[in-house]
Structure 1
Amino acid sequence: MFAPAGLHPVAAERRHLDQLAQAGADLFEVGLATEDAALDGPVIQAAYHRALRRGSALDAAVRAVEYAAGLRPTVVMTYWEPVRRHGPERLARLFADAGAAGVMVVDLPAYQAARWHDAATGAGLRTPRLIPRTTPDAGLPAAVAGASGWLYAPASTASTGYRGPLDIPAVTDFTQRLRAVSPLPVVSGVGISTPALAARVAPVVDAVVIGTPVVRALATDPDRAAEVTAAFAQALHTPASTETRA
C-alpha cells in the first residue's frame, strides 16, 4: 500500500498507518515528497505538494518509515532529485537506519545507477527498479541490472491515478518478458483503480501495490482510507490470487 509521507501531522499519520495495516496492507511503500513528481498524476502530486508545505520532506519520510517499518515491511518510493540533493550515500543510510527494506528510485538515471546501487547495497537496502513497458527486449538486461528485491511493472503506461481500462494481455506479456531476463519477483501498480481490476492483475504478477485510491481517501476523508484498503485487500486475497499483496 502506497502512502505519501508528511500528508498529515505525525500523530494522525501514525493512526492512519495503523488503520491501513489492520485493514489488510501487507507492505508499505512510503513516498518521499518532491515538487516534480513527473510520473505521478494529480492526486499524488497534490498530496506531495501538501506534504512539502508542512515542512522538511526528508524528515517526514524518515519518521514515517520508522513507524511503518514497525507495522509491516516498508520500502521508500522516491525520485532522483531528492536523492541527488541529499546525497545517495546519506539518504540510503538514513532510510536503512529508519528500518526501510529498500528504496525504489523511479526515474533513476542510467549514468547514476552504479553509484546509487553501491550506496544502497552498502547500507543494506534492496534496490527495486521500475521498468517501463516500452523498454525493448534488447534493453531489458541493462534495465534490470543492479535491481534487487523486485521489478516494478506498471499496469498502465499512463501516470498514477489513471482510471480507465487496463490491457491485461499486455501486462501479462510484459511480466513474462521480465521473468525471462530476471529471477526477481514482478510487482505491479499504476492504473489499478478498483478492487475488480486488482483481482484481474493479481494472478499475472507476484504482488500489487495500490496507490492513488488510498491517497485520495487519505487526502479528502482519512477515515475512509481503511475501508478502501480493506476492499482491495479482500480482492487480492482470494483463492485465485493468494500470492498477491496489497
Structure 2
Amino acid sequence: MPCANPVLDGRLIRSAYQRALFKGNVLDRTVRAVAHAASLRPTVVMTYWDAVRRHGPEHLARLLADAGAAGIMVVDVPRSEALRWHHAAHDAGLSTPHLIPRTTDEADVPAAVQGASGWLYAPASSGLTGFQGPLDLTALEAFTERLRAASALPVVSGVGISSPDLAARVAPLVDAVVIGTPIVRALLSDPGPAAAVTAAFAQALQPRIGTAHDA
C-alpha cells in the first residue's frame, strides 16, 4: 500500500509509490487489488505506519480483511502503537508479520518478535529495497538462527535478492523468499514480461526453500 515517505524502499519502489499516489484513490485501488489477489492466492499487504495512522488502524484492518487479506505487515510500527495495532489486526482476523532489522541486537530480538504472527521478515541486506550488491549469506544465516531461537514463526527474507540465482542461494536459509523490486521494475517498464520474471524466480525457488533448515 503506497505511502509518501517509504523510508526502507529504494528509488524504484519509491517511483511506483509516487505514480500510485499521483493517480489518487489509493485506498480504494488497494482494496480492489487485494480483493483480486486474494481471490487467487492468500494475500498479505505490506505498508508503513503513516498509511495505517492516516486511515485509522481499526478501520484499515477491517477494510482489508473484508477484501480478503490474510495479514498486514507494517514495517515500521512505533513501539508506542504496537499494542493498538496488534489488537486491531487480531480483531479483524489478520496476521501481523514483523520485519526485524538486521541491526537488531541479540538482546532486543525477543521484544522485536513480540506480537508477531504469520512470519518474521529477515532482510537479506541492510540496504534499501532494490539493493543489487553482494549479500553476506553467512551473516543472514546467523541472523535467521537468532530469530528461530526467539520464535517458532517461519522466517522469510527479501531486500537485495535481485536475481533468480541469488534467490536460489538464499532459499535454503529461510522458509520463504520475498521478491519485490525485480517484479516492480518489469511492471513499470513493460508489464508484458512481468509474469515471466515472476516465473523465473518461482522456478529458482521451488526445489530449494527451507532445504538446509529442514535438514
| TM-score greater than 0.5 by the shorter chain | yes
SS at match of 2:192: helix
Aligned residues: 213
- State the Cα distance separating 1:241 from its structure 2 match: 5.5
Aligned residues of 2:171 and 2:208 also touching (Cα < 8 A): no
Which residue of 173, 177, 201 maps to 2:146?
177
Deviation at 1:33, TM superposition (A): 0.7
- Cα drift, residue 240 of structure 1: 6.7
| Letter of the 1:158 counterpart | G
Q: Report the counterpart of residue 15 of structure 1 in structure 2.
A: none
Answer yes or no: is 1:64 the counterpart of 2:33.
yes
Task: Give the secondary-structure state (helix, strand or coil) at the position aligned to 1:230.
Answer: helix
- Aligned pair in 2 of structure 1 residues 242, 59: CA closer, same or farther (>3 Å)? farther
Indicate yes or no: 2:78 matched with 1:109.
Answer: yes
Name the residue aligned to 1:96.
Answer: 65
Query: Residues 141 and 173 of structure 2 are in contact (CA less than 8 Å); yes or no, is this contact kept in structure 1?
Result: yes
CA distance in 1, matches of 2:211, 2:150: 25
| Deviation for aligned residue 1:102 | 0.2
> Does 1:83 find its partner at 2:47?
no
Which residue is equivalent to 1:33? 2
Residue 157 (str. 1) matches residue 121 (str. 2): no
Question: Partner of 2:137 in structure 1?
Answer: 168
CA RMSD of aligned residues (A): 1.4
Provide the C-alpha distance between the structure 2 equivalents of 1:239 and 1:152, rounded to a whole number of angstroms.
18
**1:139 counterpart = 2:93:** no
Retained in 2: the 8 A contact 1:155–1:189? yes
1:220 aligned partner, one-letter code: S
2:174, 2:209 within 8 Å by CA — same for their partners in 1?
no
Q: How far off its partner does 1:243 sit?
A: 9.9
Contact 2:44 2:72 in 1 (8 A): yes
Unaligned stretches of 5+ residues in structure 2: none
State the partner residue of 1:207.
176
| Partner residue in 1 for 2:197 | 228
* 2:172–2:208 Cα contact (<8 Å) kept: no
Q: With structure 1 as the length reference, what TM-score do the two structures score?
A: 0.84
Give the distance between the partners of 1:240 and 1:154, measured in 2 at CA: 16
Alpha-carbon offset, residue 158 of structure 1: 0.1
Conserved? CA contact 1:207–1:243, under 8 Å: no
The aligned amino acid for 1:52 is L
TM (norm. structure 2) is 0.96
Instruction: Give the superposition deviation at 1:90.
Output: 0.2
Identity %, equivalent residues:
67
CA distance in 1, matches of 2:59, 2:67: 12
1:239 deviates by 5.3
SS of residue matched to 2:193: helix
Moved over 3 A (4+): 239-244
Question: In the aligned structure 1, how far is the partner of 2:35 from the partner of 2:206?
Answer: 27
